Structure 1
Amino acid sequence: MELFVSHAGADRAWAEWVAWELTDAGHTVELDAWHWAAGDNFIAKMNDALAGGARMVALLSEAYFEPSRFTTEEWTAVLAAKEQLVPLRIDATAPLPLFRALLAPALYGLPEAEARTVLLRAVAGAPGRPGSRPPFPTNAGRLRTSGPRLPGSLPPVWNIPLRNPGFMGRDGMLVRLREALTAAGGRPVTVHALNGRGGLGKTQLAIEYAHRFSGEYELAWWINAEDPALVPDQLAALAVKTGAAQPDTPPTEACQALTEELRTRARWLLVFDNAEEPAALAPHLPGGPGHVLITSRNPRWLTYAKPLDVDVFARDESTALLHTRVPTLNRPDADRLAQELDDLPLALAQAAAVLADGMTLAQYRDLFTSHTAQIMDEGQPEDYPVSLAAQIRLSSNRLATSHPGAWLLLQACALLAPEPFPLHSCTQPVADPPPELADLLGHPLAARKALRVLARLGLARAQDGTVQLHRLTQAVLRDQLTDEQRTRAQHAAETLLDAAAPTGTDDPATWPAWAALIPHLLAVDPAALTTESGQGAARDACWYLLDRANTATALPRLEHLYHVWAQQYGPDHEATLWTATYLARAYDDTGDHAGARDLDQDILRRRRHEFGDDHPDTLASAHNLAIRLASLGEVEAARDLGQDTLERRRRILGEDIPDTLSSASNLAGDLITLGETEAARDLAQDTLQRGRRVLGDDHPATLFSAHNLAIALAALGETEAARDLAEDTLERRRRVLGDDHPSTLSTARVLATLTSHTPGP
């Protein structure tokens, strides 16, 4: 190898042109994009190239001197070793001081033939005086090869939209797109689909790609594909432009002629912009050794194209855009605003336009919070067809007409969390669901169709039976709802939560479902929950969190639920009392034992007054109060109340009911604390046997009984049996609850104590 071409990723088109021309001139060239495979060690390959005596051709540009570029490693290594460096400037950026002493000819701004001459002379070095008189210059041009043209020069057949001078970022995406399109290496047509929701800049990315790599193509044609019926006429125009058809040729014949023409041509690019339905576009996708690029909000292109997901900006790209368009915006404010706008390119561009027009950042933030749809209608940039709010409004209006069920699902999800909602888990029966949702929840195929429609319009992401709305989309949709629509959406959201929420939180089999549902149950407005099942699901979400020691999230949510429902229904309503019960447990878990005791005492008083002493809800309150008394150290009072509650539950509910077993386990713990170890051992043993039979060996309630029994056995001197039981319980708790769960750690401490007191051999 003679030459190694060093370049920034954004300058790949220049690198390929330089490498091609040098190879065509007889040089041996190494270029990463041509010769290095995915997974190769960049530093090692670079060192091998330079250690082998290769000279480095450095393509100097603004991107080349960015601190994060690997090119810095390349040229500093060459300069340090005093190897020969061939610097060439490909834009007007001033080189770093280290390069200014070196002669760095410019390739940019020259005609292609002249740029080729400058390149070859720079590589050849000083030629010295020739041995004979040079011939008189002529205008004879060099014949074109099959290689790329000078970057920036446009092909003879070209209708790509004008380049956006304000385009920023996306260098990595453009390089990945180029690598993906060229991976076929001349084999049949390579089709790639840039997909993602609206506002990501897919069209601008495609335009920038076409301009940046224009030198790689002899034909580049743009087709507006939103309406499939208009595609044939645009392809027919291309057929006329290439000479494959005459102006009066019928479109169908012209398209057929174009397909045949493209099969015989190389180095062409077709861009189908804003295509919606893959099957509708498929008949128009040509064959041949060229490239096809599709932009679409629909992610379902796998049958016809290789999908390339376009995501939001990286944070440094977002802040760069904001700072460039609003120079007065400092970096911390730009970073915060980019975070609030979720790095969505269209939202960032709109915000920059509004701020540049004189609105203060504080005013913008206030409007963004209170009138999201209104502020997202302002500052529409010229390089986007509509604002973000208008885009969402147009798509949702189409959805309301074409698929009312998907429209109501979208509105409901706008009131939930931005995390994926598990639509596939909506299997619980629900009373009085909205008719549109009833059709979806009862029929998996109908639900699948609704998700497909939402994804095709770019309003939501559908994956593995879940539906997910972007946070900005949610905010705009919420702000666009009328009062009547909001009421219907709240009912639909509660229906979704009811249908997806498992019954109870004790069964480990339900925990994955709870984990997926928790964000939505935390996000929903308590005042909008009007059914007993919906309110119960919101409370149970907090109980699930308390069982995992996540009181930091559960406690404020329970306080909010309690406050809203107490105001809405009064202190004696079941929604209020049950929420107070959960809140007392949260107080107890955070160490406020007195507050928990006072709240449970009030609940017990109200329930005895309303239902009497033996009602199951009254007994549940008595059971809870006994736990709070024990937490305060009033163990004898806890034991007496626990004993009374256990006897009543055995008589009214039965001995093997989970609530009865729970009272028995707690009473066994109180007996251990009071030193009544034989009674505690007998009760814990009986409770464990019943729990294993009724609930199973791994149920958390069964493991609680086993934990208490191990302590009682140890207190009675049955150390070996206590240790064996504690070891088994710890292993099961680790597997079921996790290593860091408070119950797991409690058993681990018991086992550590038993092990430390076990006599050695």
Structure 2
Amino acid sequence: MFSYDFFLSRRGSVGDVAREVADVLAERGYKVLVQDYDFRLGDSVIDRMHDGVKNARDLIVLLTRDYEQSAFCRKEFTSFEAQRLSSSEERHMIILRCDDVQPEGLFADVIYQDLVGVQDREERKQRIIAAAERQTLAAPSPTRSFLAVPPRIPCFTGRDDQLDRLDAILTHEKPAVVTQAVGRVAVQGMGGVGKTSLAIEYAYRYRNLYAGVCWCPAETRASLIDALAGLGVALGQSRADQSDPEKVAKEALACLALQRAPWLLVYDNVASPSEIVELLPSAGARVLITSRFFDWTGLADEVGLATLVPDEAAAFLQSRAGREDATGARALAGALGYLPLALDHAAAYCKRTQMDFAEYAAKATNLISTVPRDATYPQSIAATFDLAISEVEARCSAAELMVGFLSYCAPVRIPIYFLQTLPDKEEAIAALAELSLIRHDPFQDGTPAVTIHRLVQAVARRRTEAKGAAETTMERVKEGLSMLPPPRERVGLFGALRDIIPHLRPLPHQRVLWRYQFEHLTKKFTDNADKLDHAAEKLGAAGHPDKAKTAREKAAELREKAARLSKIKFGSS
């Protein structure tokens, strides 16, 4: 139930029109929130804006030439659009055109009426009422492509400043990087801080500003090329050699320059600028990059992302877990360092097991104290994932093999057919997905696949290695990567390309597996060398110098082998 029927958003130049609109609608029996009447001296403008956006059914924008130049106005209509898209209630944005300016972007296809040049008071009144009753002069809404964008996160919380900054860089300001021909922005931050979640929310909240949105997993070059080739199919371009996916991808980027309105391309989880510099559009698009890499100078504007502030972290926990426990949520958020990925998994665990926030915080604190100092991920991540993996293994024994298998793959889409040799595959996938350890993420051609966060993989690998199961698990992965994709009917102009791409999908996973095999062997050589050095010390102390010398020579030989293996480089695929 809404407190108001309408909230009027405007610049100060049309104060008289705002009063006119409010009077007409009030006479009609509507409840209207207007700055002139309802924002009292001493009120917080931001608080009243928040009240209007949240508690008014519809937003009426009095559109003038300078409307979008106001940060407050942009905040009002973009926040309302975000609320509208996530609401189960029917809500609308309505435009009353007060200057001779064409509605564009989010305004292009919404309800609108025209007051420009209309002097007759009765005619103006009828147009205001027509707008309020959703009679529009707007053209039918155009079809907008939304390619491979992950599902919106229902409990997304906070990050308003960062979303506003992305909006400003990509759609409102000239690029700060003077060498850019198109707007590009890189969202930077450590693993688990919520870079991908922010990009997903931006894509949904601002989708109507773009002709289309294409989500491109960019952990590896192969996955980025695959996504861009899919974009080429969507754009209907056909001037490429179908047997060469990279050529198809570059043709798709060139085709963007011919589009009437810009696209948004999201390059998710880029390792470094050098990985994508040859795969960026020269025109016709805006590019949103997420990356742990720290320096994008000369290629993109930068937006840093830190952990959530305490109040946002506590609010997220309560929303995600579906309960009200502010005290417990604050304690748990603090224990996990306010890291979004850790908070998400903790809330999923508490919801699934009905555990109190305080009890989970105590368990997590104990686990954090046992995390190895050389771990390559935050301690809060180790604690939350250890609890989640232990819980899922207790409920489904096949899940232990499954998460171990997935931990030795590349952190990109993993086709389900790789998992054919694992027992109780469907049950294990369902159990892991329930606790948010994996996510269903099919390829654009419909091939079922899952994704797993690299930090979940790191914790799962540590557990697998601690159980002495690393070698057998890697053998299972090697067998899985040899599985052929299921046959299917070849259709369409790009049938040949779509037949080739599935056979390329094992390549990034194979490269990652080789790296882990070499790392495992290197560690094995080093551990055995340490044991031989320790034995040599004991043999020397016991009066066996010759045996001690032999042990030291064998240890040196193993260390030399380990050093040679460690020099082998595995770049991105």
Give the TM-score, by structure 1 length. 0.37
More helix by share: 1
More strand by share: 2
